[in-house]
Amino acid sequence: MAQKFVLKTVLDFAAAHTLQGYPGDCSKLHGHNWKIEVQIVGSQLNEIGMVVDFKEIKRHAKEVIKELDHTYLNDHPHFTQINPTAENIAAFLYRQIAERISDERVAMHSITVWENDRNCVIYSEDE
């Protein structure tokens, strides 16, 4: 059986949004303190016994969430045509972080986006 390591790091950001066409309170301006869990997968360890340094995962993820932090998500170029739902935010973050961190040794495994303590979305893509 081949070995596999899944590394997870947690970050957060604050942002507001409105959900166009939503039949309830979320159609009004509101905000969240979003929490994201970034999971990276790899099978080979480097010379010091790591798949990848957690600092490197955080650095790439912070680059992406920096453009969302303390913003109105509906104004972000990616969300002008689609609603900034937790699902769409998860897919956006996953793809943006994957572009930065994936190489021949590591790849994105999944991302979990929490909009509060009770509700989250887990997003991944098939290899």
Number of neighbouring beta carbons within 10 Å of residue 105:
13
Residue 58 pLDDT > 90, yes or no? yes
Task: Give CA–CA dist 127/64, Å, rounded.
Answer: 22
Burial of 9 (0-12, 13-18, 19+ CB in 10 A): middle
Burial of 96 (0-12, 13-18, 19+ CB in 10 A): buried
Indicate if 76 belongs to the active site.
Answer: no
Question: What average pLDDT does this structure show over 58-73?
Answer: 97
Q: What is the CATH number of the domain that holds 48?
A: 3.30.479.10
Indicate if 115 belongs to the active site.
Answer: yes
Does residue 32 have a known ligand-binding role? yes
Q: Which of 37, 47, 63, 70 is catalytic?
A: 70
Share of the chain above pLDDT 90, in %: 94
Does residue 30 have a known ligand-binding role? yes
| Tally of domains in the chain | 1
pLDDT for 127 equals: 64
Instruction: Give the domain range for residue 87.
Output: 5-123
Indicate if 70 belongs to the active site.
Answer: yes
Mean pLDDT computed over every residue of the chain: 96
pLDDT for 8 equals: 98
Q: Is the dihedral of CA 46, 44, 8, 63 positive or negative?
A: positive
Question: What average pLDDT does this structure show over 110-122?
Answer: 97
Choice between 85 and 104, residue whose per-residue pLDDT is larger: 85
Q: Are 103 and 93 a contacting pair, CB within 8 Å?
A: no
The residues, ordered by sequence, that sit 6+ positions from 126 with a Cβ below 8 Å of its Cβ are none
Q: Which of 26, 37, 56, 76 is catalytic?
A: 26
Q: Are 74 and 80 a contacting pair, CB within 8 Å?
A: yes
